[in-house]
Chain A
Amino acid sequence: MIKAVMMMNTQGKPRLAKFYDFMTVEKQQELIRGVFSVLCSRPENVSSFLEIDSLFGPDSRLVYKHYATLYFVLVFDGSENELAMLDLIQVLVETLDKCFSNVCELDIVFNYSKMHAVLDEIVFGGQIRSCLKRDFTCPEVCFRVARPIASKLA
């Protein structure tokens, strides 16, 4: 299952964080900082996988993607496929791209509430829920995602 979804900018400011196991605020901040300190030291063109047992306990994996000024991070356990998780980040980003037409960090900062709605559509209690617009229930997301993502992607 997915343990956490994080978005943070390249300065380490959290832009969205959702943990699917309950954690205190302090713990959450500690984890965000911990993840960032590892991410920021990684060069370009390396793999998207990190060993993160020291932060999240045994059998945790982390995949991330770096887009412009933002890091998108997923932490999950051994029951998920790493590359599928990487795809999920891509889906999330493409969906946001639809919602905000060319998403940038500012969109995410100011549409904080919408971000949560989108995330809940894609990741549900630590499980992948949907990767398709057709499945979205939240009206504003459906409204903004004018065309099915898939048709463009295909």
Chain B
Amino acid sequence: MTGMRGLSVFISDIRNCQNKEAERLRVDKELGNVRTCFKNEKVLTPYKKKKYVWKMLYIHMLGYDVDFGHMEAVSLISAPKYPEKQVGYIVTSCLLNENHDFLRLAINTVRNDIIGRNETFQCLALTLVGNIGGRDFAESLAPDVQKLLISSSCRPLVRKKAALCLLRLFRKNPDAINVDGWADRMAQLLDERDLGVLTSSTSLLVALVSNNHEAYSSCLPKCVKILERLARNQDVPQEYTYYGIPSPWLQVKAMRALQYFPTIEDPSTRKALFEVLQRILMGTDVVKNVNKNNASHAVLFEALSLVMHLDAEKEMMSQCVALLGKFISVREPNIRYLGLENMTRMLMVTDVQDIIKKHQSQIITSLKDPDISIRRRALDLLYGMCDVSNAKDIVEELLQYLSTAEFSMREELSLKAAILAEKFAPDLSWYVDVILQLIDKAGDFVSDDIWFRVVQFVTNNEDLQPYAASKAREYLDKIAIHETMVKVSAYILGEYGHLLARRPGCSASELFSILHEKLPTVSTTTIPILLSTYAKLLMHTQPPDPELQKQIWAIFKKYESCIDVEIQQRAVEYFELSKKGAAFMDVLAEMPKFPERQSSLIKKAEDVEDTADQSAIKLRAQQQPSNALVLADPQPVNGAPPPLKVPSVSGSTGPESVARSLSQPNGTLSNIDPQNPSPDLLSDLLGPLAIEGPPGAVSSEQHGPIGAGGAPDEVDGSAIVPVEEQTNTVELVGNIAERFHALCLKDSGVLYEDPYIQIGIKAEWRGHHGRLVLFLGNKNTSPLTSVQALILPPAHLKLELSPVPDTIPPRAQVQSPLEVMNIRPSRDVAVLDFSYKFGTNVVSAKLRIPAVLNKFLQPLQLTSEEFFPQWRSLTGPPLKLQEVIRGVRPLVLPEMANLFNSFHVTICPGLDPNPNNLVASTTFYSESTGAMLCLARIETDPADRTQLRMTVGSGDPTLTLELKEFIKEQLIAIPVGSRALVPAAGPGPGQAPPAVQPPSPVIAADDPGAMLAGLL
């Protein structure tokens, strides 16, 4: 390989190129040259071929597309000599992807090398498969590679590669590799003395365990043994130490593998592991040598993660926090970075927040670190650790940092500051201060949500109004202010400017002139707000000021012919209205209070964070928000504040409904003459701050974020009328329907969550029996009372719920077992009717219990000898049903196979001669049928994945039908975002919102999947 002069010359030429153009010319020339040579096979010696193939790879790296010569590269693989073969393997693995057709041609050669005797060739072949092996390779080579790994005659260096090769094949196509019985082999492999093989095997174990930890529980103590051997006994050959540390990579891998097991039950294993961890935690010091530092801290940080995962005793946890506290102040930037990152993860562990808070000042210092990576970590951590006690400090730090932060961070920074300010504000005037400062300093990064929100707070809290108005007035004195500031101060001064009338510089005409100065600088979206403000100022001037009126009328006149319809309409309407005296006063009366709702801001942040894997969101949900910010006034005795609904613009709202809105106890519209206002006028005034209905009123948005007003255009032209009943909804955490669908496939998880309570579920299934445990957790610091849970069972299930205590103490969790027995096959679902009281709010919800058909299935894999006689014995309807299904979610076969396996209908690979078909089997358990074998066959059309033919058979006609319908639902189901149950709170019974699903069989009709199925 050395001494390829041609290659060196070519590389020098490229290096000598003065510019990109010259380089391109040289490359084109070379490609032409290579192409000609490849065509002339007679003179193409192996040496030349090798040289050209290297050149191709070099050109490829420079970023040029090399669209020929792949065949030559692949053909080198079968060369008899090492140098050519090696080039072939390396270049092929760089140039071709796993689906390339040429690779199939090479499978045989690769296989021969793998099963051959030449170790070097074995290694090369394994490397290729490990780099680009796809499905074809997995199917034809996996058994050979598995054999190599466990073979006692192979040298470690081959077995090591075999382990990693298998890992790659398994990761890419888990279904193509048969890992049955590998649990024992893996356990044996972990006894290996050779550390190289052990490291690779541990990597393989990590992948296998992450897929199915239960099967590999026998490997858990072995991982602990490895750690003991390395970290405690230092029983390692010299060449496997790295800067004096016994194979840090292996230690890290072993600890990583342990983190995939939910917990360690065996007390002696647990004790041994904690001993090792303690040793690692205590025995690591920061030393001078950077490389040694890195290695030892790699092990240390992994140990920290493991300690957090295992939920160790408080003492050990505080030890960890103390260590992290040390790290975030060291000189070495990498350690600082990881210290902050791990501290953020630590926040998820309960009870350590207080210890972390001790390091607050150091974390704030990290916000000024020269390294942006570190600053980001510090921001995340501050955001995560903020609560009522330290919000003031942290938010003020963030505001200060905002002026110096780079632009790429400002948006995130301002959003986070706004959220923290809202969530943990110690008092309201502080909140207003923060948001106004935020708009002032980083107006470009303040989304509309943020200023909508501050307006809502000010509107709903009378004490705050004069303060907010005076603040808004102060900002207007600044020479250049951001447009958002113009919007928010115009709005606030329009509404509440009159409260300042006696202060100097705050008379209506002065307010008008200072606001009007800004008008030439703003865009057309702000002008309507200014016009509304002018109208309001005019209305509040008592007695009327003819001078001001003249000025404002002139402006209205000017905009009467504006090209922007919104501006034009407002100008015309305000002008006409302002001549009408009493009606003007009524229409422009103060805005009514907003209904209480979750901040769209927080909602948005939660949506973003949900995708991040280690978000602090769980924590956020637990933290008690400040009580300072309550959107609505304390509720009147008779229950919730008046809910508002958005009818259409058409003006269908009869006067009586308007009248009713006016009679609401705390509605501020009560001074309006019920007969007078037309919905249109009202609607116009509502423009900038639209009001959405409560969930349930607008069916398509039942679960959408209950936004702080949304965009004006969404609800443009709408009036306020009350809903028939006073229902108050709690904001759900997560989507109930999605949670239910997830729980249909797994046995533990969260069934329901709102700001007060979380209901978790854990289930075990044995034949036709099931035992579920409901975990009811109170998330608050005050008790939940009048807790009631009632099961509404469908006819085919026998359910027994142990009594639920009436009261759940603060921050406590109660368990309530639920016994299930399946009497006969049915797809109906049991419903849990659940309600509780928090303060004066009654919250109730109807939740589907995930005791569904597939829970009574047990996976069963049949061989062809077992399958076909059974299949033939089922002759036709009603025991065997066939249906062509259209409108199927397009899935490739492996995905479909995974889907089937996920609901315990086991795919039996290789039984059907046609590769586009799937054959599956399972056992169903119920009291009436006993254990009943079920078989299914799916015939797909590779050309059209949206349709397939399904045949289902079993010994029971009902079961066949139900199972067929069940599978159909799964294949066409769109389980996300479906219309789910809305928990509702109301003062009395009989107020369940219409969306609540009655128990079976109507449920099927409410499920989109079932509905679709019905249509088909």
Query: Which residue from B167, B256, B613 sits with its C-beta under 8 Å from A59?
Result: B613
Q: How far is the CA of A113 from the CA of B5 in the complex (A)?
A: 13
Q: A47-B336, A113-B1, A137-B119 are in contact. Are A125 and B131 (CB under 8 A)?
A: yes
Chain A interface main SS type: mixed
A10 part of interface (Cβ distance < 8 Å): no
Kindly supply a per-residue 1/0 record for chain B positions 149-164, scoring 1 wherever the CB is within 8 Å of any chain A CB and 0 otherwise. 0000000110011001
Kindly supply a per-residue 1/0 record for chain A positions 46-60, scoring 1 wherever the CB is within 8 Å of any chain B CB and 0 otherwise. 111111000000110
A70 part of interface (Cβ distance < 8 Å): no
Distance from B31 Cβ to chain A, minimum over Cβ atoms (Å): 13
Query: Which of B58, B294, B301 is packed against the most chain A CB atoms within 10 Å?
Result: B294
Are B127 and A153 in contact, with the CB atoms below 8 A?
Answer: no
Query: Which residue from A45, A83, A117 sits with its C-beta under 8 Å from B338?
Result: A83
A18 part of interface (Cβ distance < 8 Å): yes
Task: List B residues 108-157 near A (Cβ within 8 Å).
Answer: 119-120, 123, 127, 130-133, 156-157
A69 part of interface (Cβ distance < 8 Å): no
Query: Which residue from A29, A51, A84, A138 sits with its C-beta under 8 Å from B373?
Result: A51
Task: List B residues 798-819 near A (Cβ within 8 Å).
Answer: none
Residue of A nearest to B305 (CB): A81
Are A124 and B15 in contact, with the CB atoms below 8 A?
Answer: no
Distance from B988 Cβ to chain A, minimum over Cβ atoms (Å): 47
A102 part of interface (Cβ distance < 8 Å): no
Q: Across the interface, which residues of A come within 8 angstroms of B493, CB to CB? A: none
Q: Across the interface, which residues of A come within 8 angstroms of B248, CB to CB? A: 84, 87
Are B63 and A131 in contact, with the CB atoms below 8 A?
Answer: no
Query: Which of B4, B63, B196, B611 is packed against the most chain A CB atoms within 10 Å?
Result: B63
Task: List B residues 287-337 near A (Cβ within 8 Å).
Answer: 291, 294-295, 297-298, 301-302, 333-334, 336-337
Residue of A nearest to B58 (CB): A112
B102 part of interface (Cβ distance < 8 Å): no
Query: Which residue from B133, B156, B242, B256 sits with its C-beta under 8 Å from A131?
Result: B242
B514 part of interface (Cβ distance < 8 Å): no
B604 part of interface (Cβ distance < 8 Å): no
- Size of interface on A: residues with Cβ below 8 Å to B: 64
Q: Across the interface, which residues of B come within 8 angstroms of A83, CB to CB? A: 294-295, 297-298, 301, 334, 338
Kindly supply a per-residue 1/0 record for chain A positions 11-38, scoring 1 wherever the CB is within 8 Å of any chain B CB and 0 otherwise. 0001011101010011011001000000
Q: Across the interface, which residues of A come within 8 angstroms of B131, CB to CB? A: 20, 120, 124-125
Are B8 and A154 in contact, with the CB atoms below 8 A?
Answer: no
Q: Across the interface, which residues of A come within 8 angstroms of B244, CB to CB? A: 154
**B contact residues, range:** 35 or more
Residue of B nearest to A14 (CB): B61
Distance from A39 Cβ to chain B, minimum over Cβ atoms (Å): 12
Q: A82-B338, A113-B4, A131-B242 are in contact. Are A125 and B160 (CB under 8 A)?
A: no
Query: Which residue from A109, A120, A137 sits with its C-beta under 8 Å from B157?
Result: A137
Q: Across the interface, which residues of B come within 8 angstroms of A110, CB to CB? A: 8, 11
Q: How far is the CA of A45 from the CA of B58 in the complex (A)?
A: 33
Q: Which residues of B contact A (CB under 8 A)?
A: 1-2, 4, 7-8, 11, 15, 54, 57-58, 60-65, 82, 86-87, 90, 94, 97-98, 119-120, 123, 127, 130-133, 156-157, 160-161, 164-165, 167-168, 171, 196, 199-200, 203, 206, 238-244, 248-249, 252, 256, 291, 294-295, 297-298, 301-302, 333-334, 336-338, 370-371, 373-374, 376, 611-613
Task: List 30 A–B pairs whose Cβ atoms lie within 8 Å, in order of A's numbering.
Answer: A18-B94, A20-B131, A22-B132, A26-B63, A47-B333, A47-B334, A47-B371, A47-B374, A48-B333, A49-B338, A78-B613, A81-B252, A82-B298, A82-B334, A83-B298, A84-B249, A84-B302, A110-B8, A112-B7, A113-B90, A124-B130, A126-B168, A128-B199, A128-B203, A129-B161, A130-B196, A133-B239, A135-B157, A148-B239, A153-B243
Extra contacts, 20 of them, besides A47-B333, A81-B252, A84-B295 (Cβ < 8 A), are A14-B63, A47-B336, A79-B206, A84-B249, A87-B295, A109-B11, A111-B2, A112-B7, A112-B58, A117-B86, A124-B161, A125-B133, A127-B200, A129-B160, A129-B161, A132-B196, A134-B196, A135-B157, A138-B123, A150-B242
